Structure 1
């Protein structure tokens, strides 16, 4: 899914400085396998011009990176993507998109540091690439939600079938989205915020 060809963004970006009303800033990571749409999601939802670290893909990646379903992809993230979105006048989210290839996973430790939660973006054509991603989040104790990116040729499955295939508990939200569209990506982030709030409430009530 190519962000550059997306028609989702309308209107100018805001200035890079924080809104004067901001009272809290939260770090969120966008994770997933190679080519699932992480750069696209950060780019579509960010209110500032997103920072990307995309490099042109070369022959060296053949046989190393699994690009099934992304054969037309010509660039890949090699460090991180960065964006920002104001959820309310007081709450700002800093978004960090991780590289999808396993050979870049050593960068994840730093990106996860201080993260309040995560969005796991998945492609139903390649569910298996999400297993290790989810496992790493569970090991680190980072709360997450699942966002199913809507690729045109991807099979559609009921949410409960996806939950079973990914071996997820009932409390973890699974939502469908189109990472190219700002409103859809924002709704995913709102789902994560509601989930994190519910976890915080449950802890305080124990």
Structure 2
């Protein structure tokens, strides 16, 4: 289980790339049609990554809480499902149900959405404001599988509080850390090691 840091390059205030992707059941969702009144969390995840599994239940509970604050959540899986079939759309539905995810969990088959966000790891978090512009990119908290840190979403919650209170973006962030996105052969982006 190698830790890979995020390599985000968008800057605060920059418009996040638009996308339309299918959920595990085939229903399509677009970013612009699912922006929250106050903001939207876009996170790149997958089913088998121990870093994602470590946070999955808390992320589901936090997303439900955030929705009450006007912040929506969208999860995206960009992994190569030919070599990692456990990350395929049918398994995504099972994973979402198991961990209480009531938000769209979308499949980025071409991996172009991950590339447009410069996503590198799972999980990788991007908090957008109500206009779909980047407000925060960084870690959920200091917890990692096996490090005994409390899973409390401290870093992301602070960013959400700043967003809701119309505060300034947090620029000095710790990058998200996790497993690398499983790129299709020959599809690994230039920004990724």
Instruction: Place the TM-score, normalised by the shorter chain, in its bin.
Output: 0.3 to 0.5
TM-score (normalizing by structure 2):
0.34
Q: Highest CA radius of gyration, 1 or 2? A: 1
Structure with bigger helix share is 1
TM-score (normalizing by structure 1):
0.32
